[in-house]
Amino acid sequence: MRRVPALAVPVDARSGVAFLSYPNRSPLLAITSGRSLLVTLTLPERLEAGHVEFARQLACRAMAYAVAVERRYRGLAPMTAGEQVTA
């Protein structure tokens, strides 16, 4: 069995996400945990189509995660496997 790197970030009410845009360099996405952990997603200066696809997948999965968290918070049933989240 092949081992792969994994990262689990415990979040709490003090956790946050920041998007930083710069005029002459790649944007930065930072995730902070209330426990003083900082995770940043950085890109090379020269972007390719794969970087765009990754960013789109990240946005899609983050939206699905937000919907699932809110449904659980409100005591609603989880989404079914066939349901899709739309922005």
Q: Tens digit of pLDDT for each residue in 27-70?
A: 888 888 876 777 777 788 888 899 889 999 999 999 999 999 99
Q: Tell whether 23 and 36 lie within a shared domain.
A: yes
Does residue 32 lie in a domain region? yes
Q: Tell whether 37 and 55 lie within a shared domain.
A: no
In angstroms, the CA 38 to CA 40 distance is: 7
Does residue 33 lie in a domain region? yes
- Phi-psi map region of 75: left, alpha, beta (phi>0 left; psi -120 to 50 alpha): left
What's the pTM value of the predicted model, to 2 decimals?
0.75
Does residue 7 lie in a domain region? no
Q: Tell whether 35 and 19 lie within a shared domain.
A: yes
Quote the domain boundaries for residue 66: 48-79
In angstroms, the CA 14 to CA 66 distance is: 16
If one counts the domains in the chain, the total is 2
